[in-house]
Chains A and B, each alone.
Chain A
Amino acid sequence: MQVTRRQFFKICSAGLGGSSIAMLGYSPTAALAEVRAFKLAKATETRNMCPYCSVSCGVLIYSTGDKSKNSKADIFHIEGDPDNPVSRGTLCPKGAGLLDMVKSPNRLKYPEVREPGSNEWKRISWDEAIERIAKHMKADRDANFVEKNDAGVTVNRWPTFGFLASSAAGNEAGYLGKKVLRGLGVIGIDTQARI
């Protein structure tokens, strides 16, 4: 009998009609009492990738809920994706700890500010954070933007601001960041890729 991985999970779960177990010579009632529900059977499975090294191993993320609007997904298990042709379901000691990374107590949850000279963080709203940062940027840009160089060539650059871009962000976030920074005239840009 050909059984796919997904079908195997279904067979293992308690929800089956019992026919296949009956074929093995057990009575369905007894079998139901024996077989413990597979803990991932009701999970939502999402295909993703390990964010650590550039092997970019495929991972399967298991979360509660069915992604419907009012159910809050909670990730409770991460394992290697056997379909990925490079990693073939494997994860290394780094990737084996992925769930603890997602659930790290050191995750940031709210915008915060440390005021000049202060020795503590203060929680602020997103609106306040964005407003204050944008004000700093605009004041800095308007004061230091160079439209033409000494030779009269249009250069339109903002030399007093810099941005280190994430190498853990997706291509789309990286591209948008680059587009916005060039739009603002920023030339001081670098990324972890160099380091």
Chain B
Amino acid sequence: MTNHWVDIKNADLVLVMGGNAAEAHPCGFKWAIEAKKDRKAKLVTVDPRFTRSAAVSDYYAPLRAGSDIAFLGGVIHYLLANDKIHHDYVKHYSNAAFLINPGFKFEDGLFSGYNAEKRNYDKATWSYQLDKDGFAMVDESLQDPNCVFQLLKKHYSRYTPELVNKVTGTPKEQFLKVCEYIADTAAPDKTMTILYALGWTQHSKGSQNIRTMAIIQTLLGNMGMAGGGINALRGHANVQGITDMCTFGANLPGYLTCPTDADPDRKTYLEKRTPKPLRPGQMNFPQNYPKWFTSLCKAWYGNAATKENDFCYDWLPKLAGAQDTLAMFDRMHQGKMNGFVCQGFNPLASVSNKKKVGDALAKLKYLVVIDPLVTDTSEFWKPHGEFNEADPAKIATEVFRLPSTLFAEQTGSYTNSGRVIQWHWKAADGPGESRDDIDIVAGLFLKLKAMYAKDGGKFPDAIMGLTWAYRQPARPSPEELLQEISGKALGDVFDPKDATKVIVPAGQQIAGFAQLRDDGSTSCGNWIYGGCWSQAGNLTARRDNSDPSGLGQTLNWGFAWPANRRIIYNRASCDLSGKPWDPKRAVLRWTGTAWGGNDIPDMRPDAAPDQNVMPFIMTPEGVARLFAPGMAEGPFPEHYEPFETPLEKNPFSPNNPKTLSNPAARVYKADMEVFGKAKDFPYVCTTYRLVEHYHFWTKHSKLNAITQPEQFVEIGEELAKEKGIANGDKVKVRSNRGFIKAVAVVTKRIPTLMIDGRKTHTVGIPIHWGFKGLTKPGFITNTLTPYVGDANSQTPEYKAFLVNIEKA
């Protein structure tokens, strides 16, 4: 979330799309209800199902699963055609005025530079026109045909209400009604917040779903405002924190990127990642990258990391190939992996195409499952009737199952969706011989280290040299670890303006990432968490919930990254002169000498408005990107069909067979071959969650199992009638990858839509069942789902695919 949970109450319009907060995040969703009650805010839900969020909304519009970009592109068209944008904001705070390379083209669903064989783009033409000093050129009149604003207008002029209706199935008047609600928040003192979740991410163009909304929020001037922003309602209680620690192949903590083979030395690595400002006078905050990276190397390699040896740059493994979940299981399926660890992760249930995942696990030499619960994955080798067919005698994988502890048995910090890091305390030991995840990882590492010390082996340097100054080496404490993450001065840190003045003496915790250095005098395990454990102590454990501003900022509750800032881009909540767009909800203002107010300024505190330092400090241009060349499939989001679609042509580019589905998505050949066709699998299927369950976890909890005991699928009344299925009948749902059986719930909640002139039915399947648990045994829903991910994030397309259904 750019904003945070309580801030939802400050909105004038709450849009729920790509999620169902009332069921998936009930205690956060109450702030939407608060906005309705106290501010008379409107709540609007757009979803393939009439969800519980829809049930309490002021307005609901249906759409076909997988057609969000068509809908939102239509909204952009509406805003531009009806001049419902925040002009000053767009002109100054976005790249609307920037001139784009004249070679940039969009034709027949493809942007310039497409390589059909590699399924990717050469992005050379997706660039700004630069002047002789290397700065981007702009046309403040927004009239140049090559400026972003005109290109945007041209791109979305194709997204007419008629075409939107044809693709999404949303009745035209309902689509226009939603447009009107959204357009009202173009007023400088009105804001819309968007609450989305996996309903937007789990598509082959998930990132672009969100990008389209980012464009809308920028056009409306809703970024940085109280009650605005782009708000991802995330998964687990610490899914945000684990994302921030970047337990991904491609990243290092704090969203630094992993070196690759193309970065043979530290100098090359840093040069590529340290951008130059693209407009004069901008903060270009990523220019500090060398400080963050060097401080990380010092945190990990300590005294071994010196200037002379490039701070042990070579000790970091260099990334080769994709390392996301889908890529790893594909390599495993090819027999290219030997060992695998699943820590608090149940991939047999939660990754698409269960059969492929099960077959892949059977090719491993060893599998280690670290979990508090008996997961389905840990028993992938064991026959459980129809729910899991397996022949143990033929599976040679050695499987270890290690008991870990749960939240109640751990001390440490979780980071909520609003980026607030909060400390919690252990209440009791876990059952039996269960151990904390920290102790399990430490135990394994120390055993390996001892083996390398005794017997030697390949490249032991980084193992032997990894900093491990924990008081109990086998049990590093969460306190020690959070201090390491937050960072400290190893030598005296001096004031950059006065080299005689020590600002942090050696040995002290740093107060924030601004104190990090690239000369080895500081260490920091994750720069964005810098200062969360300062000399003042553990700021994540603060419990002062006072809220003097009334905006719900609670600046002394826990610690929000970055820098305890609660609303990111908050400088954009003021006009150029530093006055709040909405004085009633002022987040920040220029006081005459500094930025101040009800949040930590997202701006250099002394940057006077006349210096023209723009609010989006993490971009080298200082402004928000309506045109974003970083995306894999194009700088403007374009509608592509899901990989399994009821349509034969993409109505937005009907003459180009290459653009039916995302042309830049990675698809493995064998997976492409098992995509189903509409003639065999005529129904759109979407998977989702229920209020009574949490993923594949609460099926082990008795109370939850009682409230929602048995697997079911939802179908609309019209489809039920066509198929002769009655409420309560057992049905079989098939995709081209397998089948599940469950009880049918026939409901008015799933509308039948007219898509491209044809009646289209949707089948809805909750995900929570499996063959292990206290619920009735069920089929793993992901038996059905396609093995293809979003082109940018590789999040699988669980939300839109094709099935058939019949009475079992």
Q: Which residues of A contact B (CB under 8 A)?
A: 44, 46-58, 61, 63, 72-75, 78, 83-87, 90-102, 104-119, 121, 126, 129-138, 140-142, 144-145, 147, 149, 151, 153-195
- Contact: A107 with B438, CB < 8 Å? no
Mask: chain B, 357-390; 1 = CB below 8 Å from A; 0 = not: 0000000011010111110000001100000000
| Cα separation A113 to B397 with both chains bound (whole Å) | 11
CB distance from A154 to the nearest CB of B (A): 5
Interface contact A104-B433, CB-CB below 8 Å: no
Q: List 8 A-B contacts (CB under 8 A).
A: A63-B428, A86-B418, A108-B373, A113-B401, A157-B318, A165-B343, A169-B437, A173-B412
Q: Chain B, interface size: which category?
A: 35 or more
Contact B701 A100 (CB under 8 A): yes
Q: Which residues of B contact A174 (CB under 8 A)?
A: 238, 241-242, 245, 247
Most B CB contacts (10 A, CB to CB) among A134, A142, A191 go to A191
User: How far does the Cβ of A80 sit from chain B's closest Cβ, in whole Å?
Assistant: 8
CB of A101 within 8 A of CB of B697, answer yes
- Asked whether A55 lies within 8 Å of B246 as measured between CB atoms, the reply is no
| B671 interface residue per 8 A CB criterion | no
A96 to B448, CA, bound (A): 41
In the complex, are the beta carbons of A133 and B366 less than 8 A apart? yes
Of all chain A residues, which has the CB nearest B383?
A119
| Across-interface contacts of A48 in B (CB, < 8 A) | 407-408, 424-427
CA distance A169 to B410 in the complex (A): 9
Q: Tell me what chain A mostly uses at the interface: helix, strand, loop, or mixed.
A: mixed
Which of B344, B366, B393, B443 has a CB less than 8 Å from the CB of A136? B366
In contact, B697 and A85 (Cβ under 8 angstroms): no
Contact B237–A56 (Cβ < 8 Å): yes
Q: Does B233 contact A (CB under 8 A)?
A: yes
**Is there an interface contact between A110 and B432, defined as CB atoms closer than 8 Å?**
yes
The stretch among B71-79, B321-329, B654-662 that forms the contact with chain A is B321-329
Q: Is B392 an interface residue (CB 8 A)?
A: yes
CA distance A18 to B552 in the complex (A): 40
4 A-B pairs with the lowest CB-CB distances in the bound complex, closest first: A166-B344, A109-B432, A170-B412, A108-B403
In the complex, the answer to whether A193 meets B242 with C-beta atoms within 8 Å is: yes
Known A-B contacts A117-B396, A171-B415; A184 and B448 likewise in contact (beta carbons under 8 Å): yes
Asked whether A145 and B245 contact (CB < 8 A) given A101-B701, A169-B238, the answer is no
Residue pair B458, A147 in contact (C-beta under 8 Å): yes
User: What is the CA–CA distance of A56 and B694 in the complex, to the nearest angstrom?
Assistant: 13
Contact across chains for B407 and A130 when beta carbons are under 8 A apart: no
B328 → chain A closest CB, angstroms? 5
- The verdict on A97 contacting B366 (CB below 8 Å), with A183-B445, A190-B324 known, is no
A-contact bits for B415-433, CB 8 A (1 contact / 0 none): 1111011101111111111
A101 near B698 with CB under 8 A, answer: yes
In angstroms, Cα B392 to Cα A193, docked, is 31
Establish whether residues B408 and A102, one from each chain, have CB atoms under 8 Å apart when the complex forms.
yes
Mask for B606-624, Cβ within 8 A of A = 1, else 0? Answer: 0000000000000000000
A53-B427 contact in complex given A97-B698, A97-B703, A183-B300, C-beta closer than 8 Å: no
Instruction: Check if B30 is an interface residue, CB within 8 A of chain A.
Output: yes
A110 to chain B, nearest CB (A): 5
Asked if B462 is at the interface of the complex by the 8 Å CB criterion, the answer is yes
**Is the Cβ of A165 less than 8 Å from the Cβ of B247?**
yes
Q: Cβ of A136: which chain B residues have Cβ within 8 Å of it?
A: 338-339, 365-366, 398
CB distance from A106 to the nearest CB of B (A): 4
